[in-house]
């Protein structure tokens, strides 16, 4: 078996190195003198040239050796995996120095925010204690802000000495969608923007049911074009993924057809405009068949039916005066 003795490396002696270069310089000078001895005419000029450059040559040699050792050290650091650690240590020191001289983040200015909550913004910005304005990662903060459904565009900028500026461009809410006991705001395309309660958006229509978000725009715009009906609708419910029911403030459910719903909506709007009080007696109206409609009264007794029919027996002037 062969054994190998590993001796610890010796420290480099820079004094020996200096002596080496001085000896080399003197050797160059002696050599030059010997070469020029045969030519006395050029001895003075040639010797002066070598003597003038001997110090420069020795210094260049020293620089070359230093560069060689520096590259060797850097290569060794890379091989041992310590380069990343050294870089991180340098960044940490720079960050601590910047914070110490007053360049730590102290203020966040938010512009263009309407519906994005403070919690969402500060969560996206992340921890800022002990972080300098220069080392804060604005690109990552913007990426986190863009994950919010409310945010169409976001910009995060540094304002020296210690302020972050957050500019937001939000999407406009179109309706409230209720599903599974939760309420969210959606835009006109059906994109979910974020959790929202109807009471916080009293002017927005409410749609409900599985799959109601994407097709909501068409039915909502149709209803908005019928002012007598629009003021009465409290919920637009998606049924079986193919048609809609309207829930009105008078306690009436109106069943719409899967196709050509606009004609049924127009008929319902006309009924409300002509006999709104009569509709308070109805619990359900089925408009799914275009040539007819079916009513279900709230009071299904004989007395209830007579009461409802008597409403239409009144002269029109009396019906209008009792509204």
219-277: pLDDT as tens digits:
999 999 999 999 999 999 999 999 999 999 999 999 999 998 999 999 999 999 988 88
Task: For residue 273, give the DSSP letter.
Answer: H
* Domain residue limits at 302: 215-321
pLDDT of residue 4: 35
Distance, in Å, from the CA atom of 18 to the CA atom of 295, rounded to the nearest integer, reads 110
Q: Say which CATH number the domain at 276 has.
A: 3.40.50
pLDDT of residue 284: 96
Q: Is residue 275 part of a domain?
A: yes
Closest alpha carbon to 160 in 112, 107, 207: 107
Q: Is residue 69 part of a domain?
A: yes
Q: Is residue 208 part of a domain?
A: no
Given a cut of 90, whether residue 215 has pLDDT beyond it is yes
Domain count, the chain: 3
Q: End of a domain among 170, 196, 230?
A: 170
Q: Is residue 89 part of a domain?
A: no
Same domain, 121 and 161: yes
Strand arrangement, sheet containing 151-159: 107-111, 163-170, 151-159
Is residue 151 packed enough to be buried (19+ CB in 10 Å), middle (13-18) or exposed (0-12)? buried
Residue 301 confidence class, pLDDT cut points 50, 70, 90: confident
Percent helix, strand and coil across the chain, each rounded to 5? 45, 20, 35
Q: Is residue 53 part of a domain?
A: yes
Same domain, 129 and 72: no
Q: Is residue 195 part of a domain?
A: no
């Amino acid at each position: 078996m062969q054994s190998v003795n590993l001796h610890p490396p010796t420290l480099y002696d820079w004094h020996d190195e200096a002596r080496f270069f001085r000896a080399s310089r003197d050797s160059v000078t002696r050599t030059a003198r010997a070469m020029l001895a045969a030519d006395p005419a050029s001895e003075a000029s040639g010797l002066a040239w070598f003597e003038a450059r001997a110090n420069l040559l020795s210094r260049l040699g020293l620089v070359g050796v230093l560069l060689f050792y520096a590259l060797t050290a850097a290569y060794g650091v890379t091989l041992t995996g310590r380069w990343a650690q050294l870089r991180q240590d340098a960044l940490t020191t720079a960050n601590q120095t910047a914070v110490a001289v007053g360049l730590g983040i102290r203020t966040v200015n938010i512009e263009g925010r309407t519906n994005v909550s403070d919690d969402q913004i500060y969560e996206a910005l992340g921890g800022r204690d002990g972080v300098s304005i220069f080392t804060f990662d604005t690109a990552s903060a913007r990426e986190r802000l863009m994950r919010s459904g409310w945010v169409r565009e976001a910009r995060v900028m540094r304002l020296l000495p210690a302020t972050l500026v957050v500019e937001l461009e939000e999407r406009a809410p179109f309706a409230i969608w209720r599903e599974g006991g939760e309420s969210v705001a959606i835009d006109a395309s059906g994109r979910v923007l974020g959790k929202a309660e109807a009471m916080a958006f009293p002017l927005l229509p409410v749609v409900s049911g599985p799959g109601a978000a994407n097709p909501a725009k068409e039915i909502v715009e149709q209803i908005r074009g019928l002012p007598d009906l629009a003021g009465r609708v409290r919920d637009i419910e998606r049924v079986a993924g193919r048609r809609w029911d309207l829930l009105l403030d008078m306690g009436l459910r109106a069943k719409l057809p899967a196709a050509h719903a606009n004609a049924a909506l127009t008929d319902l709007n006309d009924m409300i405009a002509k006999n709104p009080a009569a509709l308070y007696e109805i619990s359900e109206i089925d408009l799914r068949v275009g040539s007819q409609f079916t009513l279900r009264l709230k009071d299904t007794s004989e007395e209830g039916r007579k009461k409802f029919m008597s409403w239409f027996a009144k002269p029109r002037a009396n019906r209008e005066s009792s509204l």
